[in-house]
Amino acid sequence: MKRAFTLIELLVVIAIIAILAAILFPVFAQAKEAAKKTSCLSNSKQVILSELQYQADYDDYMVPVNGCDWGSAIYGTTACTTYPYLLQPYSKNWQIHRSPGDSSGESVYGLMPDDSGPCTATDKGLCYGWRSNYGYNFMYLSLPVYGSGGVPNGQPNPQSSTTVGSPAATLFSVTSIWDRSGGAPKGGGNWAVNAPCYIEVGGASYAVPTTYSFYALSTSNGIKWDPNNPNSPTQFGYAFPFFTGRTVINSNFVDGHAKGLRIGDLSKGCNVTTAVITDNDAFLWDLK
């Protein structure tokens, strides 16, 4: 007599498999995100290590955020280098500038900086650098020259690492986005991010008094965060938390370590509405 599973037995087995799948699928998703988060943090670590090698060759000076004049016609084109491009001789790996948490990153990796189409440069790195997912703390570490109206119009002026009072508590870069659409990241990463607060000093030209960590006009445009606008890339100044329900942002620091931070940690010691620093010891962006 041939034996076979009864319908009830098959239904029980299917039900058990369905229950196990319902239990395990979220675990698999969490494991996948954890792997991406770890890979992203590793990339962030490699970025800061290449920066430290750069400093060793340039008398402890930070890498410039751009290798060109911010106010010139070449800004935003392939003729202008960026800090990831300048660090390539040390890392020799463009992939460390792609965060696996940014699902839109790879598709736009080779676009022109102005989004006009595919990169036309013979050296594709001139385009890749603009879309780095590790945005540089340029406002404090590689200050651009500011002219009237608070518009950057001159060469970046990188600072010496010896001027950083607390290297282990000063951000070098954080994960970033280029743009947003409906709240979702769009266009890959952004090579530079805005600090949430800055110290303001009167005047109409570039200057960094020894008692100040950053100089900007009170009329500076595009500097402040837009914390109440989740559809704006400047909600967090182009910084973006890709992980743990969009609450954790991978970061690296001037001393060379990298770690994940809560997005709220980026604005500690700072009133993001007025862009005024309230506690320099808690603030993670300035030279202190």
Is 263 domain-assigned? yes
Sign of CA dihedral 241, 242, 245, 248: negative
Q: Which amino acid is at 241?
A: P
Quick check: is 31 in a domain?
yes
For the segment 133-159, what is each residue's pLDDT rounded down to a tens digit? 999 999 889 877 665 555 566 778 899
CB 87 within 8 A of CB 51: yes
Say how far apart CA 63 and CA 123 lie, in whole Å. Answer: 20
Q: Identify the domain containing residue 49 by its residue range.
A: 7-277
Residue 288 lies in a domain: no
Examine residue 20 and state whether it is found in any structural domain, yes or no: yes
Mean pLDDT of the region 161-185: 93
Q: For the residues 54-67, what does the mean pLDDT come to?
A: 94
Global confidence as pTM: 0.85
Q: Tokens 């993001």 sit at which residue? A: 272
Kindly state whether residue 124 falls inside one of the protein's structural domains: yes
- Count other C-beta atoms under 10 Å from residue 278's C-beta: 12
By C-alpha distance, which of 226, 199, 189, 76 is closest to 143?
A: 199
Residue 48 is assigned to a structural domain of this protein: yes
- Say how many domains are in the chain: 1
Pair 180, 125: CB distance under 8 Å? no
